[in-house]
Amino acid sequence: MASTYGEWLKERREAAGLTQQQLADLALMTRSHIAHIEAGRRFPSEEDARRLDMALNTGNVLATFRPGRDDSPVEDYFEAARQLEQEATIIREFAPTFVPGVLQTERYARAVLGVAYPPDSEEERDKKVVTRLERSKILANPVTPVVWTLLDEAVLRRPLGSAEVMAEQLMHLVTLAENERVRVHVMPYNVGAYQILNSMLTLMWFEDQPPVAYSEGIQFGRLHEAPAIVERLQSAYHLALSDALPLRESLALLKATAKDFDHA
Protein backbone atom coordinates (compact mmCIF):
# COMPACT_ATOMS: atom_id res chain seq x y z
CA MET A 1 0.00 0.00 0.00
CA ALA A 2 2.74 2.47 0.96
CA SER A 3 4.72 1.84 -2.25
CA THR A 4 1.58 2.27 -4.43
CA TYR A 5 0.79 5.48 -2.58
CA GLY A 6 4.35 6.70 -3.12
CA GLU A 7 4.27 5.81 -6.80
CA TRP A 8 1.04 7.77 -7.24
CA LEU A 9 2.56 10.76 -5.46
CA LYS A 10 5.59 10.61 -7.76
CA GLU A 11 3.35 10.48 -10.86
CA ARG A 12 1.40 13.53 -9.70
CA ARG A 13 4.60 15.42 -8.87
CA GLU A 14 6.16 14.68 -12.25
CA ALA A 15 2.90 15.53 -14.04
CA ALA A 16 3.03 18.90 -12.31
CA GLY A 17 6.60 19.40 -13.55
CA LEU A 18 8.03 19.60 -10.04
CA THR A 19 11.28 18.24 -8.64
CA GLN A 20 11.25 16.65 -5.19
CA GLN A 21 12.84 19.80 -3.77
CA GLN A 22 10.26 22.06 -5.40
CA LEU A 23 7.41 19.97 -4.00
CA ALA A 24 9.08 19.91 -0.60
CA ASP A 25 9.31 23.72 -0.61
CA LEU A 26 5.63 24.06 -1.55
CA ALA A 27 4.48 21.55 1.08
CA LEU A 28 6.83 22.81 3.82
CA MET A 29 8.61 19.44 4.05
CA THR A 30 12.15 18.18 3.46
CA ARG A 31 13.23 16.72 0.13
CA SER A 32 14.38 13.51 1.81
CA HIS A 33 10.92 13.08 3.37
CA ILE A 34 9.35 13.34 -0.09
CA ALA A 35 11.89 10.80 -1.40
CA HIS A 36 11.11 8.33 1.39
CA ILE A 37 7.35 8.63 0.78
CA GLU A 38 7.74 8.08 -2.97
CA ALA A 39 9.94 5.03 -2.34
CA GLY A 40 7.33 3.54 0.04
CA ARG A 41 9.65 3.66 3.04
CA ARG A 42 7.50 6.16 4.91
CA PHE A 43 4.07 7.73 4.69
CA PRO A 44 3.09 11.27 5.62
CA SER A 45 1.28 12.51 8.68
CA GLU A 46 -2.26 13.74 8.13
CA GLU A 47 -1.05 17.35 8.08
CA ASP A 48 1.75 16.54 5.59
CA ALA A 49 -0.77 14.78 3.33
CA ARG A 50 -3.06 17.84 3.39
CA ARG A 51 -0.17 20.10 2.41
CA LEU A 52 0.81 17.74 -0.41
CA ASP A 53 -2.76 17.77 -1.69
CA MET A 54 -2.72 21.57 -1.69
CA ALA A 55 0.67 21.76 -3.41
CA LEU A 56 -0.36 19.30 -6.14
CA ASN A 57 -4.00 20.41 -6.41
CA THR A 58 -5.17 16.84 -5.85
CA GLY A 59 -8.21 17.67 -3.73
CA ASN A 60 -8.01 15.51 -0.59
CA VAL A 61 -6.82 12.29 -2.25
CA LEU A 62 -3.46 12.02 -0.46
CA ALA A 63 -5.06 12.75 2.91
CA THR A 64 -8.00 10.37 2.36
CA PHE A 65 -5.96 7.40 1.15
CA ARG A 66 -2.93 7.88 3.40
CA PRO A 67 -1.59 4.42 4.41
CA GLY A 68 -2.37 3.53 8.01
CA ARG A 69 -5.01 6.25 8.25
CA ASP A 70 -7.69 4.01 9.75
CA ASP A 71 -5.75 1.34 11.59
CA SER A 72 -2.54 2.89 12.85
CA PRO A 73 -1.75 1.56 16.34
CA VAL A 74 -0.23 4.89 17.36
CA GLU A 75 -1.68 8.39 17.56
CA ASP A 76 -1.69 10.18 14.21
CA TYR A 77 0.48 13.00 15.51
CA PHE A 78 3.22 10.49 16.41
CA GLU A 79 3.23 8.45 13.20
CA ALA A 80 5.79 10.56 11.31
CA ALA A 81 8.11 10.52 14.34
CA ARG A 82 7.73 6.74 14.63
CA GLN A 83 8.84 6.31 11.03
CA LEU A 84 11.84 8.59 11.55
CA GLU A 85 12.77 6.74 14.74
CA GLN A 86 13.41 3.61 12.67
CA GLU A 87 15.86 5.48 10.41
CA ALA A 88 17.76 7.55 12.96
CA THR A 89 21.44 6.98 13.68
CA ILE A 90 21.35 8.98 16.93
CA ILE A 91 18.38 9.37 19.29
CA ARG A 92 18.37 11.49 22.42
CA GLU A 93 15.29 11.40 24.64
CA PHE A 94 14.02 13.48 27.51
CA ALA A 95 11.22 12.01 29.64
CA PRO A 96 9.46 13.99 32.39
CA THR A 97 6.79 11.39 33.27
CA PHE A 98 7.26 7.93 31.70
CA VAL A 99 10.21 5.88 30.47
CA PRO A 100 10.54 6.50 26.69
CA GLY A 101 8.68 3.98 24.53
CA VAL A 102 11.68 2.24 22.97
CA LEU A 103 13.05 1.51 26.46
CA GLN A 104 9.84 0.14 28.00
CA THR A 105 9.32 -3.43 29.13
CA GLU A 106 6.11 -5.18 28.10
CA ARG A 107 4.46 -4.93 31.51
CA TYR A 108 5.46 -1.30 31.97
CA ALA A 109 4.15 -0.44 28.48
CA ARG A 110 0.84 -2.09 29.30
CA ALA A 111 0.64 -0.08 32.53
CA VAL A 112 1.38 3.19 30.70
CA LEU A 113 -1.25 2.47 28.06
CA GLY A 114 -3.68 1.51 30.80
CA VAL A 115 -3.90 5.08 32.10
CA ALA A 116 -5.23 6.43 28.78
CA TYR A 117 -8.55 8.29 28.80
CA PRO A 118 -10.93 7.40 27.36
CA PRO A 119 -9.71 3.86 28.03
CA ASP A 120 -8.85 1.54 25.16
CA SER A 121 -10.44 -1.85 24.70
CA GLU A 122 -8.29 -4.83 25.62
CA GLU A 123 -7.77 -5.53 21.91
CA GLU A 124 -6.66 -1.97 21.17
CA ARG A 125 -4.30 -1.98 24.13
CA ASP A 126 -2.78 -5.26 22.97
CA LYS A 127 -2.13 -3.77 19.52
CA LYS A 128 -0.45 -0.73 21.03
CA VAL A 129 1.74 -2.85 23.30
CA VAL A 130 2.88 -4.94 20.35
CA THR A 131 3.67 -1.81 18.36
CA ARG A 132 5.66 -0.34 21.23
CA LEU A 133 7.70 -3.53 21.59
CA GLU A 134 8.27 -3.56 17.82
CA ARG A 135 9.71 -0.06 18.12
CA SER A 136 12.21 -1.28 20.70
CA LYS A 137 13.73 -3.68 18.17
CA ILE A 138 15.94 -0.84 16.97
CA LEU A 139 18.06 -1.70 20.03
CA ALA A 140 18.79 -5.16 18.59
CA ASN A 141 21.48 -3.56 16.44
CA PRO A 142 24.46 -3.26 18.81
CA VAL A 143 25.80 -0.09 17.19
CA THR A 144 23.02 2.13 15.83
CA PRO A 145 21.08 4.07 16.73
CA VAL A 146 23.15 5.58 19.52
CA VAL A 147 20.59 6.22 22.27
CA TRP A 148 20.85 8.61 25.19
CA THR A 149 17.97 9.15 27.59
CA LEU A 150 17.54 11.85 30.20
CA LEU A 151 14.94 10.99 32.85
CA ASP A 152 13.43 13.35 35.35
CA GLU A 153 13.66 11.74 38.80
CA ALA A 154 9.84 11.65 38.86
CA VAL A 155 9.97 8.89 36.23
CA LEU A 156 11.77 6.67 38.74
CA ARG A 157 9.69 7.57 41.78
CA ARG A 158 6.09 7.65 40.54
CA PRO A 159 4.58 4.15 40.86
CA LEU A 160 3.06 2.78 37.67
CA GLY A 161 1.46 -0.63 37.69
CA SER A 162 2.80 -2.73 40.56
CA ALA A 163 6.03 -2.33 42.52
CA GLU A 164 7.26 -5.43 40.68
CA VAL A 165 6.61 -3.79 37.30
CA MET A 166 8.55 -0.69 38.36
CA ALA A 167 11.50 -2.68 39.67
CA GLU A 168 11.63 -4.70 36.46
CA GLN A 169 11.52 -1.57 34.31
CA LEU A 170 14.25 0.24 36.22
CA MET A 171 16.55 -2.79 36.13
CA HIS A 172 15.90 -3.10 32.38
CA LEU A 173 17.33 0.40 32.01
CA VAL A 174 20.30 -0.56 34.17
CA THR A 175 20.98 -3.65 32.03
CA LEU A 176 20.84 -1.67 28.78
CA ALA A 177 23.22 0.91 30.20
CA GLU A 178 25.65 -1.60 31.72
CA ASN A 179 25.75 -3.41 28.38
CA GLU A 180 26.68 -0.03 26.85
CA ARG A 181 23.69 -0.11 24.52
CA VAL A 182 22.22 3.15 25.88
CA ARG A 183 23.29 5.96 28.18
CA VAL A 184 20.92 6.87 31.00
CA HIS A 185 21.10 10.08 33.02
CA VAL A 186 18.75 11.18 35.78
CA MET A 187 17.79 14.78 36.49
CA PRO A 188 17.52 14.88 40.31
CA TYR A 189 14.79 16.78 42.13
CA ASN A 190 17.30 19.12 43.77
CA VAL A 191 18.10 20.78 40.45
CA GLY A 192 14.72 22.50 40.58
CA ALA A 193 12.93 23.73 37.45
CA TYR A 194 14.61 23.62 34.06
CA GLN A 195 13.59 24.60 30.53
CA ILE A 196 12.46 21.31 28.97
CA LEU A 197 10.57 20.02 32.02
CA ASN A 198 7.11 20.59 30.52
CA SER A 199 7.09 18.06 27.66
CA MET A 200 8.65 14.90 26.33
CA LEU A 201 11.39 15.58 23.77
CA THR A 202 13.09 13.36 21.21
CA LEU A 203 16.05 14.52 19.12
CA MET A 204 17.03 12.49 16.04
CA TRP A 205 19.97 12.59 13.65
CA PHE A 206 20.29 10.75 10.30
CA GLU A 207 22.84 9.81 7.69
CA ASP A 208 21.04 11.39 4.73
CA GLN A 209 18.92 14.25 6.05
CA PRO A 210 18.97 17.09 8.57
CA PRO A 211 18.21 16.39 12.24
CA VAL A 212 14.67 16.73 13.57
CA ALA A 213 13.00 17.04 16.95
CA TYR A 214 9.70 15.74 18.26
CA SER A 215 7.94 17.14 21.32
CA GLU A 216 4.80 15.81 22.98
CA GLY A 217 2.37 16.96 25.63
CA ILE A 218 -1.14 15.86 26.62
CA GLN A 219 -2.99 14.63 23.50
CA PHE A 220 -0.61 16.59 21.29
CA GLY A 221 2.67 15.98 19.53
CA ARG A 222 4.67 17.97 17.00
CA LEU A 223 7.51 17.14 14.65
CA HIS A 224 9.98 20.04 14.31
CA GLU A 225 12.08 20.25 11.14
CA ALA A 226 12.94 23.97 10.93
CA PRO A 227 16.73 24.18 11.59
CA ALA A 228 16.49 27.11 13.99
CA ILE A 229 13.87 25.38 16.17
CA VAL A 230 15.71 22.04 16.12
CA GLU A 231 18.95 23.73 17.14
CA ARG A 232 17.19 25.55 19.97
CA LEU A 233 15.71 22.30 21.28
CA GLN A 234 19.06 20.55 20.99
CA SER A 235 20.65 23.33 23.05
CA ALA A 236 17.91 23.10 25.69
CA TYR A 237 18.45 19.34 25.94
CA HIS A 238 22.21 19.59 26.32
CA LEU A 239 21.88 22.39 28.86
CA ALA A 240 19.60 20.15 30.95
CA LEU A 241 21.94 17.19 30.47
CA SER A 242 24.80 19.25 31.93
CA ASP A 243 22.87 19.46 35.23
CA ALA A 244 21.95 15.76 35.34
CA LEU A 245 23.69 13.05 37.35
CA PRO A 246 26.65 11.35 35.63
CA LEU A 247 26.08 7.86 34.24
CA ARG A 248 27.50 5.97 37.23
CA GLU A 249 25.50 7.96 39.77
CA SER A 250 22.36 7.65 37.64
CA LEU A 251 22.69 3.87 37.53
CA ALA A 252 23.27 3.76 41.29
CA LEU A 253 20.03 5.72 41.79
CA LEU A 254 18.14 3.43 39.40
CA LYS A 255 19.35 0.35 41.29
CA ALA A 256 18.53 1.82 44.69
CA THR A 257 15.05 2.83 43.57
CA ALA A 258 14.42 -0.59 42.02
CA LYS A 259 15.47 -2.16 45.33
CA ASP A 260 13.01 0.08 47.18
CA PHE A 261 10.21 -1.13 44.90
CA ASP A 262 11.31 -4.73 45.43
CA HIS A 263 10.89 -4.23 49.18
CA ALA A 264 7.54 -2.49 48.84
For the chain (264 residues), the mean pLDDT of every run of 10, in chain order, is 77 93 92 84 80 91 71 60 88 96 95 84 84 90 95 95 96 97 96 79 91 84 88 94 96 98 88
Q: What is the pLDDT of residues 118-166, one digit of tens each?
A: 788 888 888 888 888 889 999 999 999 999 999 999 999 999 999 999 9
pTM, to two decimals:
0.74
Query: Are 107 and 114 in contact, with CB atoms under 8 Å apart?
Result: no
Q: What is the pLDDT of residues 16-27, one digit of tens each?
A: 999 999 999 999
CATH of 76-263, one of 3.40.140, 2.60.120, 3.30.870, 2.40.50: 3.30.870
**E-assigned strand segments in 38-176:** 90-95, 146-152
Q: Is 250 exposed, middle or buried (0-12, 13-18, 19+ CB in 10 A)?
A: buried
Residue ranges of domains in the chain: 2-64, 76-263
2-64, what's its fold?
Answer: 434 Repressor (Amino-terminal Domain) (1.10.260)
Amino acid at 80: A
Nearest-CA neighbor of 125 among 137, 105, 110, 103? 110
Beta strand 182-187 pairing with 146-152: parallel
